[in-house]
Structure 1
């Protein structure tokens, strides 16, 4: 990765996972002192979430600015960055893209996703189609988004980065590279859902001095309350099976704080008052939680990659199956999928070497995102990079107001925004219902195991408005 001296780069973000991702990604570029601009939306991190997200990234509190959307354009015009990293959910990226379109000195516009992105979702690509570069984090994701773009006619330039959380503090990447070096010369095959291996990698040896079982809670999956209650009961069993170890439920937000995704059934409400004393909740950064972890449990969280990079073995819980709607097909072929019995017994797993290089542990030399950014900056300075502008909404001013109010929520105090929400919210619900009824049963690509992408909207009730 080449030195970034002389380049000005700003990450524009709001939600916790995007703040952590953008600060970690830019903080790892040699010679770069990135700025972080936090735009006020219903998802914007609290001061404590911001501090946790910045920990270990090299981005200091003095590098962070918080603004209302109305002041973003003037601030960017004063700063005149060479590149802007739009780090937020799709509608946020589109809204900020319109702001950048208004700037006198247009920067290179980069976007990306803050974690594992298999399956590649149509909405994720559509919302970011007008950025100059889309960052993904594995060779598998490069293929998936390229195939998706070709399928729907949305060509977006792609670049590969090392997932910031896959670097590890003590040689996690070197361990991964040694493991992938053992792959046979024939290369890495693509595993379909039907190819799930029956034999896991041998159980990992306990880490000296580390005894915690860390569960990475997720807002979206499983969505069903009964399934989430089942996980809570499983964690109680794991705690009762060995009172000398802690079972740590790692949460993303405290009471009153927002998360990137809406958690309708938080785990704090799924345990009885008499839960075991060694079952605890934690809001510490994931890297801190992993320091004392003997193993990590998740359904499909990117925390699994972070754990492997820290040398912590993993169980990707397949108790509810393996499907795109559980966001866990990425683990097919990894050797990490396991059930309740393995968790209670503490039989955590290392990944199959053949899975690593294709899935987040490629050699660092293969990450080309920063070189691509520098090339785009040079082209923009030379006047040879045409802007990829966000087109006006097809429904005119009221539709524009709907887009803005959908992202800003209560932070949008305009009359047009309130009117657009009053008219638009029922219309969107009606349209979604009509589309659902028109979809042929069984035709959804969310149920298709032969691809790593989806064409339909995601099935999660996950509005930006809270």
Structure 2
């Protein structure tokens, strides 16, 4: 990767997963000394979440500045960065994009998503379409977003990065080539298929650690959405704990009481065990990398933690108990060999991913990641005055729409009268519009139910407002 010395780069973020992603991404560039700005919104990380997010990234608390939204423009003008990485949910990116656009010396703007992004969602692209570059993390994602962009008539430059959490491949046992993996598959690994030989590809190999017996469950806020399904997962974890009292079942949580997450968790697992929690079923708020140090396997529905586990040599079960569909965000695992049911979780029969899937999904060779080269090219164009200005357009609804958008992102932090009035009028209107769209999805064909594509056109089905 090209050296980053002399480049002034600032990441602007708020929520936990975006803070971790931004710090990890920028921390991977040799010689770069990035700064991280945390804008105060309802999603902004606590001090404890910040420490967990920065762990292992190379950034420390001294690299972080917390600012109210109204101070961001002056701070950026004083710093005059070459690049601003906008790291937040879509409305956050759009709001801060307008701030950056108004700077006298506009920097290059970069955006992206903090984890696996299959299916590629229209909203994710729409909100980021006016940044100079959008980062994706796999060849499959690049194809999916390119197809989506063509479908909706958007011209957004994409660049490939290695997902920061897919590093740590020194644990893979790099001299083990694909033939050994194919042999293991043919010898009877669950879900195995024969694969064409391509010896140049390398795959994760088992790593044995003394005392690594934990089963780590990566909890998610969005999926599964139905409370009874989440309760069913809790029951499976209890069964797994009771089946082997010598191992710990670790429920890895993203937030403590009073803290926010990127997505709203309406049914946290801390409430789902009804007093039936065995002593060896524990909750953890440690960084995922720390939890994986003592893990014999990881369980999830569709968390990016699966990629992080594979990178650390930890096998995975992607739970398919409720099906495999876009609304569960788990179609990315089709063909991976990682899908498994409750019985596999209880028995501890964890899976290793098929090499062909790895190559197309997050474990491409580092040399194929071109995002930093693309960023440097854009900075050179900017310094030469030749970078086209991809400005975020003004809201179609004028000042009231702008006030609604700002208040929607900032929540109670926005104390303006216009913001309060816009929310008072806009919340009922948006709820009605969401209900109308949901009704249309139920009566018509939706790309959320189309198994032949890796993208969606309709709004996502999750009730996940930024307002908390």
TM-score by length of structure 1 reads 0.94
Question: 1:67 maps to which residue?
Answer: 67
- SS of equivalent residue, structure 2 residue 443: coil
Question: In the aligned structure 2, how far is the partner of 1:164 from the partner of 1:156?
Answer: 22
Residues 430 and 101 of structure 1, relative CA distance in 2, 3 Å threshold: same
Name the structure 2 match of 1:447.
Answer: 449
The whole-number CA distance in structure 2 between the counterparts of 1:199 and 1:119 is 23
Partner of 1:239: 241
Matching residue of 2:420: 418
Other-structure match for 1:190: none
1:199-348 correspondence to structure 2 within 5 Å: 199-200=191-192, 207-209=208-210, 210-348=212-350
Aligned length: 451
Q: In the alignment, which residue of structure 1 is the partner of 2:82?
A: 82
Separation in 2 of the partners of 1:316 and 1:149?
29
Looking at structure 2, the residues matched to 28 and 173 of structure 1 have their Cα atoms a distance apart, in angstroms, of 21
| Cα separation, 2, equivalents of 1:179 and 1:276 | 40
Distance of aligned partners of 1:98 and 1:274 in 2 relative to their CA distance in 1, 3 Å threshold:
same
- Residue 107 (structure 1) aligns with: 107
CA distance in 1, matches of 2:274, 2:442: 42
1:275 offset after TM fit, Å? 1.1
Distance apart, 1:387 and its partner CA:
1.2
d(CA) in 1 for partners of 2:383 and 2:11? 20
Classify the secondary structure of the residue corresponding to 2:241.
helix
Q: CA deviation at 1:199?
A: 2.6
Q: 2:357 matched to 1:355?
A: yes
Change (3 A) 1:178 1:14: farther
Tell me the equivalent position of 2:201: none
Give 5+ residue unaligned stretches, structure 1: 184-196
Deviation at 1:430, TM superposition (A): 1.4
Q: Give the aligned partner of residue 202 of structure 2.
A: none
Q: Residue 433 of structure 1: CA displacement?
A: 2.1
* Within-5 A mapping of 1:396-411: 396-411=398-413
**Contact 1:8–1:81 (CA under 8 A) maintained in structure 2:** yes
Contact 1:318-1:338 at 8 Å conserved across structures: yes
For residue 37 of structure 1, give the secondary structure of its aligned residue in structure 2: strand
Give the deviation of 1:46 after TM superposition: 0.2
Say which SS state the counterpart of residue 71 (structure 1) adopts.
Answer: helix
1:189 maps to: none
Structure 2 counterpart of 1:192: none
Give the TM-score normalised by structure 2: 0.94
Identify the residue that residue 127 of structure 2 maps to in structure 1: 127
Does the CA-based 8 Å contact 1:138-1:360 persist in structure 2? yes
What SS does structure 2 have at the residue aligned with 1:131? coil
Counterpart in the other structure of 2:186: none
Counterpart CA distance in 2 for 1:74 and 1:159 is: 30
Cα offsets for 1:123-176 (capped at 9, x unmatched) = 00000010000000000000000000000001110000000000016334947x
Inter-partner Cα distance in structure 2 for 1:358 and 1:412: 43
Q: Which runs of 5+ in 2 are unaligned?
A: 183-188, 195-204
Give the match's secondary structure for 2:217: strand
Q: Distance in 1 between matches of 2:174 and 2:207?
A: 20
Q: Is the 8 A contact 2:121 2:456 kept in 1?
A: yes
Deviation at 1:333, TM superposition (A): 0.2
Give the equivalent residue in structure 2 for 1:46. 46
- CA-to-aligned-CA distance 1:229-264 (integer Å, 9 cap, x gap): 000000000000000000000000000000000000
CA contact (8 A) 1:180 1:357 kept: no
1:355-374 residue pairs with structure 2 within 5 A? Answer: 355-374=357-376
Task: Work out whether residues 173 and 361 of structure 1, in 8 Å CA contact, stay in contact via their aligned partners in 2.
Answer: no
What are the Cα deviations for residues 433-465 of structure 1, in whole angstroms up to 9, with x where unaligned? 223334473500000000000000000000000
**CA-to-aligned-CA distance 1:263-284 (integer Å, 9 cap, x gap):** 0000000012241000000000
1:19 matched to 2:11? The reply is no
- Give the Cα–Cα distance (whole angstroms) in 2 for the partners of residues 439 and 57 of structure 1: 41
Query: Tell me, what secondary structure is at the counterpart of 1:105?
Result: coil
Change (3 A) 1:440 1:256: closer
Shift of 1:200: 3.6
CA distance in 2, matches of 1:308, 1:439: 36
* Equivalent of 2:429 in 427, 450, 453: 427
Q: Counterpart of 1:2?
A: 2
Contact 2:206 2:314 in 1 (8 A): no
How far, CA to CA, are the matches of 1:348 and 1:295 in structure 2?
6
Asked if the contact 1:445–1:456 (Cα under 8 Å) also holds between the matched residues in 2, the reply is: yes
1:121/1:455 contact within 8 Å kept = yes
Contact 1:166 1:173 in 2 (8 A): no
1-side partners of 2:429 and 2:228: how far apart? Answer: 31
